[in-house]
C-alpha cells in the first residue's frame, strides 16, 4: 500500500513539474530574447543570448524611449491602484449588506452580481464603449469606474461567502457598545475580511494591470494609454514591422511589477479563496 502511495505521489509531482515547466517556458523565452538582437530572435528564438547574439540593455533603452514607458507606466499604476482600492472597499460593503440584510432585493442583487461573472466582456464591449463616450467616461477616472463595475461580480461573490462564516453575534455586541453600522463595518467586519480582501486585491490587480482591450477601447492609444497599449502601439513600425527586441524588453518591464506584487502576497490567495468558498 505504501509503495503504491509513493508511486502515485511521484507521478503527481512529475506531472506538476511538467505543467510548471510548460507554463514558465514562455516567460523564460521572453526574458532570453529581450537581450538578443532582432535577427537572432526570429532565427534562433530558443537559444541563449551569448556572443554576438547578446546586445545587453540596448533593447530596454530603445523600448523605454520609443514607447513613452514612464507616462504609460504611471497611467497603469494610477488606474490599477484606484480600481483595486474601490473594488475591495465597495464590494466588501455591498457583500456585507447583502448577507446581513436578507430580503428579496438583496437576494436579487446577489444573483445579479453572480450572473455578471459569466457574461463575456466581448458580449457587452460595443455597448459599453458607446455609453462610456456618451457619459464622458473615456478618461482615467472614468475607466476606474468601469473597472469597478466589471470587477464587482467575483469580488462580491468571494466576500459574501466569507461573511457568511462570521458570527452575527460579534456585530451585535459592537452595536450594543454604541457602534453605528459604518463603525461596525470598519472596526469589526473589515479587519476580519483581511485574507479575502488581499485575495480580491491580487486577482483584480493582475487583471487590471495586464488588461489591453478595455483601456484600448475606452482610452485609445494617445497620451492616456496604459502600458499594454503603449507596448503594442509604439513598437510597431511601417508595414506592420515590429522591433521584437524592444518589444520583448518592454514585456519584461511590464510584467515585473505584477510578479513582485504576486510573490509578496501569494500566500493569501489560497487562504482567501478557500475561506470565501466555505459557505459561498
How do residues 53-65 score in pLDDT, each as one tens digit? 787 788 888 877 7
More confident site: 143 or 124: 143
Last residue of a domain, one of 60, 79, 103: 60
pLDDT band at 24 (very low <50, low <70, confident <90, very high): confident
Residues 160 and 103 in one domain: yes
Residues 187 and 246 in one domain: yes
Residues 176 and 73 in one domain: yes
Residues 13 and 74 in one domain: no
| pTM assigned to the model | 0.82
Q: What is the residue range of 54's domain?
A: 2-60
Looking at residue 156, its pLDDT comes to 92
Looking at residue 227, its pLDDT comes to 87
* % of the chain beyond a pLDDT of 70: 91
Residues 143 and 78 in one domain: yes
Looking at residue 127, its pLDDT comes to 87
Residues 9 and 65 in one domain: no
Residues 37 and 131 in one domain: no
Q: What is the CATH number of the domain that holds 182?
A: 1.10.3720.10
Each residue's pLDDT tens digit, 182-226: 888 888 888 888 888 888 998 899 899 988 889 998 988 778 888
Residues 17 and 138 in one domain: no
Looking at residue 274, its pLDDT comes to 54
Residues 56 and 66 in one domain: no
The overall average pLDDT reported for the chain is: 83
Looking at residue 237, its pLDDT comes to 57
Residues 38 and 172 in one domain: no
Total residue length of the chain: 280
Q: Domain total for the chain?
A: 2
Residues 217-241, mean pLDDT to the nearest whole number: 76
pLDDT band at 77 (very low <50, low <70, confident <90, very high): very high
Amino acid at each position: 500500500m505504501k509503495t503504491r502511495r509513493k508511486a502515485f505521489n511521484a507521478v503527481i509531482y512529475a506531472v506538476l513539474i511538467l505543467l510548471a515547466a510548460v507554463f514558465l517556458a514562455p516567460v523564460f523565452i521572453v526574458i532570453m530574447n529581450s537581450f538578443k538582437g532582432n535577427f537572432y530572435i526570429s532565427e534562433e528564438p530558443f537559444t541563449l543570448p551569448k556572443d554576438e547574439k547578446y546586445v545587453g540593455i540596448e533593447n530596454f533603452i530603445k523600448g523605454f524611449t520609443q514607447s513613452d514607458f514612464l507616462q504609460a507606466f504611471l497611467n497603469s499604476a494610477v488606474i490599477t491602484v484606484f480600481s483595486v482600492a474601490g473594488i475591495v472597499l465597495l464590494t466588501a460593503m455591498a457583500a456585507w449588506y447583502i448577507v446581513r440584510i436578507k430580503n428579496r432585493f438583496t437576494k436579487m442583487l446577489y444573483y445579479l452580481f453572480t450572473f455578471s461573472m459569466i457574461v463575456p466582456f466581448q458580449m457587452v464591449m460595443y455597448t459599453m464603449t458607446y455609453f462610456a463616450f456618451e457619459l464622458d467616461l473615456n478618461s482615467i477616472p472614468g475607466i476606474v469606474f468601469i473597472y469597478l463595475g466589471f470587477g464587482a461580480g467575483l469580488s462580491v461573490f468571494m466576500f459574501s461567502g466569507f461573511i457568511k462564516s462570521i458570527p452575527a453575534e460579534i456585530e451585535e455586541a459592537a452595536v450594543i457598545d454604541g457602534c453605528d453600522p459604518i463603525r461596525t463595518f470598519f472596526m469589526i467586519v473589515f479587519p476580519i475580511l483581511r485574507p479575502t480582501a488581499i485575495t480580491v486585491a491580487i486577482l483584480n490587480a493582475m487583471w487590471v494591470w495586464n488588461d489591453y482591450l478595455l483601456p484600448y477601447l475606452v482610452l485609445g492609444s494617445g497620451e492616456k494609454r496604459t502600458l499594454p497599449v503603449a507596448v503594442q502601439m509604439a513598437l510597431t513600425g511601417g508595414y506592420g514591422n515590429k522591433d521584437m527586441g524592444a518589444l520583448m524588453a518592454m514585456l519584461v518591464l511590464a510584467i515585473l511589477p505584477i510578479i513582485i506584487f504576486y510573490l509578496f502576497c501569494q500566500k493569501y490567495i489560497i487562504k482567501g479563496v478557500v475561506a470565501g468558498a466555505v459557505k459561498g
